[in-house]
Amino acid sequence: EPLYVAFHDEEWGAPVHNDRKLFELLTLSQALAELSWPVILSKRGEFREMIDAFYNASVCDLKGKKINQLSKSNGRTLLSEQKLRAVVANAKQIQKVVREFGSFDNYCWSFVNHRPITNGYRHARQVPTKTPKSEAMSKDLMRRGFQCVGPTTVYSFMQVAGIVNDHLRCCFRFDQVRSQPKDAEENMRAEIRLSSHDSEDSEISEV
C-alpha cells in the first residue's frame, strides 16, 4: 500500500500543532472505527473537502441534507450518520475550545504538558490501544460535548498527531520524530533572539 507506507514514513507520529490539521486527524481517527487506514487514505481528498466544509464556518447552520451532500464520495457516504454528526458536533465544540484555550493545539497538548510522550516499545504487541492520558482526554472531550471520542479513538489520534511517539525502537522514524520537538524549540528560541535583536536595533536607531 504505497499511500499507507508514505503516511507512515512522512506523517504518522510527527508532532502536529495546526488546529485545522489536528481536527482532520481527529476525524480520521474516528473513521478508523469503520474503515482501515489504507481505505481512509485512498479517500483523503474527499475527507478533506468534507472536513474543511465542517471546520470553516457555519457548522451550526448545516442541515441534514447539506451534511449528506458534503459527506459523499462518488455518490457513496464516507461515514455512517452517527460519525458524520459527530464531525459536525466536534467542529462546533472546537470553536468553544479555541475561545477558552486560545487554540485546539494548546488544549490537546496540555494533556502531556506540551511535550510528546516517547514510549520506545520494541515490539508491536507492547503498544497499547488506550492509556490513562487518552482516557483523561477522552473524558474531558466528552464533557465538553465532543462525540465519538472514546479513549481508543483518542489514543489513535494522539499517535497520529505525534502527541505520543509510538514508532518502535527499530523503526527509522523513531529517532526522526523524537528530534522534531527539539528542532521546533530551537527554531522558536532563534526567533525570540532575532526578535529581541531587532527590537534593540530599533531602540538604538531611535536614540
- Domains of the chain, first to last: 2-198 (1.10.340.30)
The pLDDT value recorded for residue 41 is 94
Nearest residue to 95 via CA among 168, 146, 153, 37? 146
The pLDDT value recorded for residue 82 is 86
* Residues with Cβ within 8 Å of residue 194, at least 6 apart in sequence: none
Task: Please answer whether residues 145 and 44 qualify as being in contact, where contact means their C-beta atoms are separated by less than 8 angstroms.
Answer: no
The reply to whether 171 sits in an annotated binding site is yes
The pLDDT value recorded for residue 53 is 76
The pLDDT value recorded for residue 68 is 59
> How many Å apart are CA 5 and CA 148, to the nearest integer?
27
Rounded average pLDDT per 10-residue block, the chain, 207 residues: 93 95 95 93 88 67 56 64 87 93 96 95 96 98 96 98 96 90 49 47 45
| Residue type at position 185 | E
Q: What is the pTM of this model?
A: 0.82
Strands (E) across 113-166 are located at 117-118, 164-165
Say how many C-beta atoms besides its own lie within 10 A of residue 27's C-beta.
25
> Residue 194 corresponds to which cell in the numbers above?
532575532
> Residue 138 corresponds to which cell in the numbers above?
477522552
Task: Please answer whether residues 136 and 54 qualify as being in contact, where contact means their C-beta atoms are separated by less than 8 angstroms.
Answer: no
